[in-house]
Amino acid sequence: MIAGCEQDPASNAKDCRHGTTMTGDGPKHGPGHPLTLPNIITIARLCGVPVLIWALIERDWTLAFAIFVVAGLSDAVDGVIARRWNQHSELGLYLDPIADKVLLVSVFVGLALLERLPGWLAIAVVSRDLLIVAAVLLSYVMGRPVTVRPLLVSKLNTVSQIVLAGVALGEPAFDLSLTAEIEFLVAVTVVLTGVSAAAYLVDWLRHMNPNDDPSDRRGDPQ
């Protein structure tokens, strides 16, 4: 008998209190448990970032491009698994966007240092994310915690960053000449970065309005 579990005489299963059910097939983690397949995939994606950085330093463009593509595919796969088998968790809610940001920031900074992308673009991308994090922390310190809701322009910005990073990595990996395409994607990305930053700023200032009740904002859905 496992401590904290109750035997179900009908199914011969043990219902544990920590999100794990023991059956004849072995342990199965229910929704909310941190040890889920999507979270394991996300952690693996995070572990791949140092390898990607090393590939950039060594200018192994093929390896860097392959890691980036696999990371992007894994991001899609873990989302499908979480929805299909109801393997959502609070850890995954925070871990997945962190993994995405770490990957993109690493690629943009690395490509800028290697002069494959403009340095000012990398600064703009990183500064936007840092400002959002600073705003969230400041809201918490001031007793008006805010939930960052993904806006449409922010999702478009993420898509443009992914496409630009993929094209910038793929150009040297496959010995292509994509100067015009990269310049166009750079222009689109910087515009969306600025617009999304402004949109979040307006939303945050509205949230921090002293005339608003903080309790009205804490329950904002993502």
- Assign residue 42 the CATH number of its domain: 1.20.120.1760
Q: Supply 197's token pair.
A: 């930053």
Question: Could you give phi then psi for residue 188, rounded to 5 degrees?
Answer: -65, -45
How many Å separate Cα 119 from the centre of its chain?
A: 23
| Amino acid 78: pLDDT | 87
Domain that holds residue 86: 31-218
Q: Is the pLDDT reported for residue 41 higher than 70?
A: yes
Cα–Cα distance for residue pair 61/57, rounded to 1 Å: 10
**CA 16, 22, 26 angle in degrees (round to 5)?**
150
| Amino acid 213: pLDDT | 54
What average pLDDT is seen over the chain? 83
| Amino acid 147: pLDDT | 80
Is 1 part of a structural domain of the chain?
Answer: no
Helical (H) or strand (E) element with 209: none
Which tens digit of pLDDT belongs to each residue from 49-101? Answer: 999 999 999 999 999 999 999 999 999 998 898 888 888 888 888 898 899 99
Which amino acid is residue 215, in one-letter code?
S
Q: CB of 42 within 8 A of CB of 92?
A: yes
Is 26 part of a structural domain of the chain?
Answer: no
Is 115 part of a structural domain of the chain?
Answer: yes
How many Å separate Cα 76 from the centre of its chain?
A: 11
Q: CB of 51 within 8 A of CB of 67?
A: yes
| Amino acid 28: pLDDT | 47
Is 103 part of a structural domain of the chain?
Answer: yes
Burial class (CB within 10 angstroms; exposed 0-12, middle 13-18, buried 19+) of 126: middle
Is 144 part of a structural domain of the chain?
Answer: yes
Q: Is the pLDDT reported for residue 3 higher than 80?
A: no
Is 203 part of a structural domain of the chain?
Answer: yes
| Domains contained in the chain, number | 1
| Amino acid 200: pLDDT | 93
Cα–Cα distance for residue pair 181/188, rounded to 1 Å: 11
Is 24 part of a structural domain of the chain?
Answer: no
Which amino acid is residue 86, in one-letter code?
N
Which whole number is the average pLDDT over 153-167? 96
Cα–Cα distance for residue pair 168/178, rounded to 1 Å: 8
DSSP, res 19 = S
Cα–Cα distance for residue pair 27/18, rounded to 1 Å: 12
Q: How confident is the model at residue 13 (pLDDT cuts 50, 70, 90)?
A: very low
